Amino acid sequence: MLVVLKSLLVFSTTNDKCFFTEFHENFNIVKGKNTSGKSTLIQSIIYTFGVNDGREKIEEILKNNLIFRLDLIANSN
């Protein structure tokens, strides 16, 4: 199965903050300084797929009552 990520929206119901990004269908680079949120972005994507490889890793994120929306296209070839 081929999965193409289109966009990610994360919204906090606690403090009315949100994050939105769109992905290119061929190639994406996640770049930033230490503690800028690169790992948090990847963890958020993995979490929306229902994978939680360690509750302690995402517990800080989830305490903000977040809503995740990951738009994607899935093709089975």
pLDDT of 66: 87
Alpha carbons 59 and 21: distance in angstroms, whole number: 22
Nearest by Cα to 64 from 24, 9, 17, 14: 14
pLDDT per residue as tens digits for the range 32-76: 999 888 888 888 888 888 887 766 667 777 778 888 999 999 887
Residue recorded with tokens 């994406």: 28
pTM reported for the whole predicted model = 0.80
